Chains A and B, each alone.
Chain A
Amino acid sequence: MKIFRRKKFESDMDAELRFHNSAYIDDLIRSGFDRTEAERRARIAFGPIEATKDECRQAWGLQRMDEVRADLRLTFRALRNNPGFAAIAILSLALGIGANTAVFGLVDAVILRLLPVRDPSQLVFVETAGTAGRDGPPYPYFELLRDEAKSFEAIAAFSPSNMEIVIDGGRELARGVWVSGNFYQMLGAAPVIGRTLAASDDQTPGKGGPDGAVAVISRAYWQQRFGADPAVVGRVVHMMFDFEHTVTIVGVMPSEIMSPELGRPIDIAVPMMLSDPVKMRDRVSLWLEIVARLKPAVRTEQAHAECNALFQAYMADVRIPPEVHTMLYDHVELTPAAKGLGGLRTQFLQPLTAMTILAGLVLLAACVNVANLMLARAAACQKDFAVRLAIGAGRDRLIRQTLTEALVLVGAGAALGILLARQGQAALAAFFAQGNNKIVLDLSMNGRMLLFTLTVAVLSGLAFGILPALRASRSDPGAGLQSGSRSIAGNRVSRRLGHALVISQVALSTVLLAGAGLFIRSLRQLELVDLGFTREGILTLEVTPERQMFGKLEWLTVQAEILDRVRQIPGVRYASWATMTPLSGRDRGAILDIPGFVPRTEKDKDVHLAALSPGYFETFGVPLLLGRVFTSRDDATASKVAILNETAARFYFGNTNPIGKNVRFANYPGHDLVYEIIGVVKDAKHDSLREQPSRFIYIPIPQSVDRINRLALAVRCTGDVVTFVAPVRQEVHSVRSTVLINNVSTIEKQVQQSLTRERLITALSTAFGALALVLACIGLYGTLAYAVTRRTNEIGIRMALGATRGGMIWLILREALTLAGSGIVIGLPAVLALARITKALLYGIEPFDLPTFASAVLLLLVFTAIAGFVPARRAGRLDPMSALRCE
């Protein structure tokens, strides 16, 4: 388009000037001149035609464009002539920019992005709070708030829950969410097809509304499970809630607004009224999330005061133990909901900070490297610049030329970097994989990411372009043209600049290498950590029976039968059931009252609770320290018994023997749940490899405090675990074909998975550290090779006066080591500062880890010595005679 207009401009201008000329000639002829004379006079009267055209172009504002085009042409030609320089510069920039783009993608998805709903800043979460933290309020309080509160335009509730769905006769597990009928209308979410849920769908408990039981599904689920078939609207599926429901799918919603919980993908949303009516009437059960839209004029504090007043009134007639009250039901809090539920944010803040710093350092190293390369090139181009200045180029043109070169490099780097970032996305998504609860984030490229990349690219282009540009403008045409190549470039300022850049490269490498060392060491520590259980040869799978079996004796019989069958499989050594297995991401808490134990804070009563079948400790290889383990005789009718882990036993009973002592569960008002301690087992990791041992109490499954539905089956076998998956599955289904099996995994794999993040950070920092080291070596080599050329004459004189070759080698090598040493000295304090920031990511080592630092420094010294030795050897090989003659 521009080019066409440009061509038209030129032809129009030609035509216009030609017309002028011929009209004048005609007039001259008319007044009596012959044609030749007329043409001559016309030429004189008009003046220099090309200069006029140029002035016209300038008057039209075209000159700028022409110059830019010339700069670009020159740059491309220069880069084509120096493919090595271009490749190294573009690659290192691509890595730096790509790393930053990718990390920014994570930061954007986790920390910056607002919910894609109408006016998200007006949304707040309403949560109950106490000394134990924040939680979702009970359903009756939601009803009270909905009917009474004046501060809100609308109030909605949701609660994520796995749901069983029967499609085409097969049972499947879907990631579901219970929502109040007005939920999506309040968020302002429009359906992709069909309709969204309405308040009228959520009227009658167990029934729904006028259309009966209805549900909406996410676009992702629609595409994956139903092949994006539009006929899904109106389709009837069966869902297992308390009893089987026939549910009609009425619409498909955008996946990202199915629930305001970050990173938790939801397949299907069902009105609250279809959920467990007992739970809905329960005045203390904490299972909801309430999200409300403030009226425009209402401030959060006002709304908070109102919610809290209503909550205190609500709690007035709820009878719970005072300690539970202060822990969980003390007051309500309002938190901004614009960015969704933020558990993920707090969880990933520190790793993300570390990654951001890491990526920033890599970009810095790339910029310094390119600046160094460009300076070296500028020195080589000095003569060229001098000539251009001498024949009248403006200094601003030279600055612009150099900056154009920088921006072209950075443009290519950014384009490649975006590609790299896209490729790295899979690895980065793994950053969020933890246990069974996969976190799924939308990491696709968006406008904000592109803007970020562009900003980073332009800023880094200016950062490394500005020094060489200023240097270029300062070239002195006189000196540049007179002298030979060495003396021009040898001026002191540019040399000092080069040295400063090499030093900062070494400093950056020091930081990255030492950081990588810290991460490697702490990963090693984590891999060697004592888990407290056996990691090899254990298969785990989760088994869920049909609804009808929940809480029934039949389920216990089925469990026992399955265990018997599985134990018959050749190669199976132990098998057992548990409500949760280590590193599965499942957890359950309880509150203990122990006669004779005086808690200092309410938290002292907290304990993790797991219900187990006999054989569990054998399966996991957890040693029994005192007393006995559970047997099949510890059933529902027998006296209640419990086992503590070491930490719990020491915490509650000190040095006294806990066997035979009683403990009581305090979080079940109305029940008198007293258990006798019969054994103590060794501590084992549960949630992560990093955690300090926490207090655990184990009870037999038949004596469980609450209904047990889903259970994990753990099978310890000899040989390859994977080969046992099919037979175990088969045995389970042969006992009961209708049970649901999912989350099949091995303990080994879960241990590996729990280290994904550490592994990723270690791999990244190692790769970045190695890259920075290589770049620093290139920079150092360049600087020294140049120094040798510059000092050829001096070396010749020294050798003529009797200096040895070794002395000459040392002369250059000393410069290398001085530069490297200065960089290291600058880098080490920076490492310490950074290590302190990333302390939370380290395990088993202190931020100041001498062996790590020593090996990083050694590595740097060895590599810089090698980089320095090549030019040094050249200095030693110089022939004194030719060196002297060289001028």
Chain B
Amino acid sequence: MKKQIDLVQGTLDMLILKAVSLGGLHGYGVLLRLRQLTGGQLQIQQGSLYPALYRLEHQGLIASEWGESENKRKAKFYTLTAAGRKQLKAETESWNRFSVVVAGVLNAIPEGS
């Protein structure tokens, strides 16, 4: 088993938005999709998912609706709202810029070597 990576502070919200943007999901579904997308490399405490979901819903970035799960059980499904879509786009761009800059710094070769 590969060593898991700790989540960078504040990125969980962004990942949830991304996961939900690919199609409506219930909370457990978000967890499964994140696991699938990261190839199980990210360490996510299952419980921490829910405060994040509630926060995002309270901010109006995702919306929720009760529905039926794959195995016919009552579950709460989350979908991305228009505001959430905008937010995801903005965060993706700034993350990309950020990672390029950080990577550039870390990959710098000492002068003269």
Partner of A52, one of B26, B50, B69, B73: B50
- Check: A16 CB closer than 8 A to any chain B CB: yes
- Encoded as 1 (CB less than 8 Å from any A CB) or 0, chain B from 47 to 64 comes to 110111011001000000
Distance of A47 Cα from B75 Cα, bound (Å): 20
Of chain A, the residue at the smallest CB distance from B45 is A47
Asked whether B28 lies within 8 Å of A52 as measured between CB atoms, the reply is no
Minimal beta-carbon separation of A307 from chain B (angstroms): 61
Contacts A16-B76, A19-B28 given; does A58 touch B45 at CB 8 Å: no
Q: Which residues of B contact A528 (CB under 8 A)?
A: none
Q: Which of A19, A23, A48, A59 contacts B47 (CB 8 A)?
A: A48
- On chain A, the residues within 8 Å of B27 by CB distance are 16, 19-20
Tell whether A802 is near chain B: CB-to-CB under 8 Å.
no
Q: Is the CB of B58 within 8 A of A19?
A: no
**How far, in whole Å, are A58 and B58 apart by their CA atoms in the complex?**
10
| Chain A 25-55 per-residue mask, 1 if CB under 8 angstroms from chain B, else 0 | 0100000000000000000011111011001
Chain B contacts of A26 at CB under 8 A? Answer: 71
Contact of B50 among A17, A22, A45, A48 (CB under 8 A): A17
Cα A23 to Cα B68 with chains together (Å): 13
- Cross-chain contact B46 with A61 (CB below 8 angstroms): no
Tell me whether B76 and A12 are in contact (CB under 8 A).
Answer: yes
Contact A61 B58, beta carbon cutoff 8 Å: yes
Q: Are A19 and B74 in contact (CB under 8 A)?
A: yes
* B54 CB contacts on chain A under 8 angstroms: 56, 59-60
What's the Cα separation between A26 and B45 when bound, in Å? 18
Selected contact of A56 from candidates B26, B50, B71, CB within 8 Å: B50
Given A20-B27, A23-B69, A59-B54, the answer on whether A47 and B46 have CB atoms closer than 8 Å is yes
Do A58 and B75 touch (CB < 8 A)?
Answer: no
Given A19-B69, A59-B55, A59-B58, verify A24-B28 contact (CB < 8 Å). yes
- A15 beta carbon closer than 8 Å to chain B: yes
Instruction: Looking at the assembled complex, report how far the CB atom of B51 sits from the nearest CB atom of chain A, in whole angstroms.
Output: 4
Question: Would A16 and B50 be within 8 Å (CB), given that A24-B28, A59-B55, A60-B58 are in contact?
Answer: yes
Measured between beta carbons, the chain A residues less than 8 angstroms from B76 are 12, 15-16, 19
CA distance A59 to B59 in the complex (A): 9
Bound Cα distance A47, B43 (Å): 13
* Shortest CB distance B89–A (Å): 23
Asked if B73 and A19 sit within 8 Å, CB to CB, the answer is yes
- Assign chain B's interface to a size class: 20 to 34
Q: A23, A26, A52 — which one has the most chain B CB atoms within 10 A of its CB?
A: A23
Chain A residues, Cβ within 8 Å of B46:
20, 24, 45-47
Q: Are B50 and A19 in contact (CB under 8 A)?
A: no
Which residues of A lie under 8 Å from residue B75 when comparing CB positions?
A: 16, 19, 23
Q: Which residue of B lies closest to A55 (CB)?
A: B51
Chain A nearest CB from B41 CB (Å) reads 16
The residues of B that contact A58 with a CB separation of less than 8 Å are 51
In angstroms, how far is the closest chain A Cβ from the Cβ of B86? 21
Docked pose: A24 CA to B49 CA in angstroms: 14
Inter-subunit contact B73/A49 (CB<8 Å): no
| A interface residues, tally (CB under 8 Å) | 24
Please name all residues of chain B whose beta carbon is closer than 8 Å to the beta carbon of A23 when the two chains form the complex: 28, 69, 73, 75
Instruction: Point out the residues of chain B lying under 8 angstroms from A52, CB to CB.
Output: 47-48, 50-51
Would you give the shortest CB distance from B28 to chain A, in whole angstroms? 4
List, in ascending order, chain A residues with CB within 8 A of B73's CB: 19, 22-23
Q: Which residue of B lies closest to A26 (CB)?
A: B71
Separation of A12 and B57 alpha carbons in the complex (Å): 14
Query: B48: which A residues are within 8 A, CB to CB?
Result: 47, 52
CA distance A49 to B46 in the complex (A): 10
* Minimal beta-carbon separation of B42 from chain A (angstroms): 14
Q: Is the CB of A20 within 8 A of B58?
A: no
Report the Cα distance A46→B47, complex, angstroms: 5
Instruction: Assess the B69–A56 pair: CB atoms within 8 A.
Output: no
CB distance from A52 to the nearest CB of B (A): 4
Chain B residue, CB-CB nearest to A22: B73
Greatest chain A CB density within 10 A among B26, B51, B55 is at B51
Closest A residue to B75 by CB, please name it.
A19
Q: How close is A664's CB to chain B, nearest CB, in angstroms?
A: 89
Contacts of A17 in B (CB 8 A): 50
Within 8 A of A (CB), among B4-58: 26-28, 31, 45-48, 50-52, 54-55, 58
Q: In chain A, residues 271-304, which have Cβ atoms closer than 8 Å to a Cβ of chain B?
A: none
CB neighbours (8 Å) of B58 from chain A are: 59-61
The CA-CA distance from A643 to B52 in the complex, in Å, is: 98
Bound together, the chains give a CA A19 to CA B72 distance in angstroms of 11
Residue of B nearest to A52 (CB): B47
Question: Inside 8 A of A51's CB, which chain B residues have their CB?
Answer: 47
Bound together, the chains give a CA A801 to CA B46 distance in angstroms of 73
Interface residues of A in 50-81 (CB under 8 A from B): 51-52, 55-56, 58-61
Chain B residues with Cβ under 8 A from A46's Cβ? 45-47
> Per-residue CB proximity of A660-695 to B under 8 Å, as 1/0?
000000000000000000000000000000000000
Complexed CA–CA distance, A204 and B59 (Å): 73
Q: A23-B28, A59-B58, A61-B58 are in contact. Are A15 and B74 (CB under 8 A)?
A: yes
Q: Roughly how many angstroms separate A15 CA and B28 CA in the complex, as a whole number?
A: 13
Identify which of A13, A49, A56 gathers the most chain B CB atoms within 10 Å of its CB.
A56
* Cα distance A58–B71 in the bound complex, in angstroms: 31
CB A689 to nearest CB in B, in angstroms, measures 70
A122 to B69, CA, bound (A): 68
Residues from chain B with Cβ under 8 Å of A22 in the complex: 73
CB distance from B19 to the nearest CB of A (A): 15
**Which chain A residues lie closer than 8 Å to B28 at the CB level?**
19-20, 23-24
Closest Cβ of chain A: how far from B3's Cβ, in Å? 18
Q: How far is the CB of A63 from chain B (nearest CB, A)?
A: 12
Q: Which A-chain residue is minimally distant from B58 (CB atoms)?
A: A60
B51 x A59 contact (CB < 8 A): yes
Chain B residues near A15 (CB-CB < 8 A): 74, 76
A175 to B74, CA, bound (A): 76
- A26, A49, A59: most-surrounded residue (chain B CB, <10 A): A59
Residues of B within 8 A of A20 (CB): 27-28, 31, 46, 50
A47 to B49, CA, bound (A): 11
Contacts of A24 in B (CB 8 A): 28, 46
B21 to chain A, nearest CB (A): 20
Taking CB atoms, residues of chain B closer than 8 Å to A55 are 50-51
Q: Complex Cα distance A17/B58, Å?
A: 18
What's the least CB distance linking B40 to chain A, in Å?
13
Known: A12-B76, A19-B75, A20-B27. A56 touches B45 (CB 8 A): no
Beyond contacts A23-B28, A46-B46, A56-B54: 16 other A-B pairs, Cβ-Cβ < 8 A, are A13-B50, A16-B50, A16-B75, A17-B50, A19-B73, A19-B74, A20-B27, A24-B28, A24-B46, A45-B46, A49-B47, A52-B47, A52-B48, A56-B51, A58-B51, A60-B55
| Chain A contacts to B: CB under 8 angstroms | 12-13, 15-17, 19-20, 22-24, 26, 45-49, 51-52, 55-56, 58-61
CB-defined A-B contacts under 8 Å, sample of 18 = A16-B26, A16-B27, A16-B76, A19-B69, A19-B75, A22-B73, A23-B28, A45-B45, A45-B46, A46-B46, A46-B47, A47-B48, A49-B47, A52-B50, A55-B51, A56-B50, A59-B55, A60-B55
**B interface residue numbers (CB < 8 A to A):** 26-28, 31, 45-48, 50-52, 54-55, 58, 69, 71, 73-76
| Top 6 A-B residue pairs of the complex, sorted by shortest distance between their CB atoms | A47-B47, A55-B51, A59-B55, A52-B47, A59-B54, A23-B28
